[in-house]
Amino acid sequence: MPNIRILIVDDSSLLRDGLSNLLAVQPDFDVIPPVDGALAAADVVRKVRPDIVLMGWPASSQGSQKVFGAIQDVKAHTRVIMLTNDDLKEDFVEAVKQGCCGIVPKNTSTELLLKSIRKVNAGEFWLDRMTTADVIRQLARKSPAGAPAAPVPAPAPVAQQPSVRLGVRDQAGALSNREREIVILVAQGFKNKEMAERMFISEQTVKNHLHNIFDKLGVSDRLELALYAVHHNLHEPS
């Protein structure tokens, strides 16, 4: 099996060099010379098409936009892991929307960083539960609880969906309109009782719908479901 080719992108030479030295000793990693500029990073992505980009810039920054744009331009299978600071939690939703496949704090342990790289390279999504909860809270803040119930959007075309696996299946199209409505409410932070009241159904019926949704999408809980919704553009009305 070929080694995982990794590109490190960050403004800090200390972080770039430290990560490069740390990852280079792993027998299954090949570390590409790190870069600190957006144009250089985009150029490497286009020419080398790394498997993983470890990116220290915020998802909303121009540098990140250039990297994501380069990945889309060449239709690379490159997966991006954002290296984040705790004071940039508001950027988490944007990272997920951009197609980021992992969010890892810069102060994470070496063991977890190595594990996240291998998991994301294998097609999985890496996000700890605290970060996932932050994403859901941000979505909830953008959708006030008092807002009127919204129509259910159609799923995004497959060509626009990020290449990411949240479970073994990807069957958003198999959801009923009612199930899609529940997905929206879960992503907006509503609890089962609140959803039941808004939809004029029993709380048990909500639980039954959630069970079916988990089974269809291959997710295991509400947190994964919320992330799936953001990735597949199912989290808000069209």
Q: What tens digit of pLDDT does each residue of 90-119 get?
A: 777 788 778 788 889 888 899 999 999 998
All CATH 3.40.50.2300 domain ranges of the chain, comma separated, are: 4-127
7 forms beta bridges with: 32, 53
Residue 9 has pLDDT above 50, yes or no: yes
DSSP secondary structure letters along 143-199: S-TTSPP-PPPPPPPGGGS-S--SSS---GGG--HHHHHHHHHHHTT--HHHHHHHH
Span 191-214, pLDDT tens digits:
889 999 999 999 999 999 999 999
Q: How far is CA 138 from CA 117, 135, 214, 223, 231, in A?
A: 25, 5, 22, 13, 15
Cβ atoms of 91 and 61 closer than 8 Å? no
**CATH code at 4-127:** 3.40.50.2300
Kindly report, residue by residue over 30-79, the tens digit of the pLDDT: 999 999 889 999 999 999 999 999 999 888 888 898 999 999 888 888 99
Residue span(s) of the chain under CATH 1.10.10.10 come to 145-231
pLDDT band at 233 (very low <50, low <70, confident <90, very high): confident
User: Which CATH code fits 145-231?
Assistant: 1.10.10.10
pLDDT for 159: 28
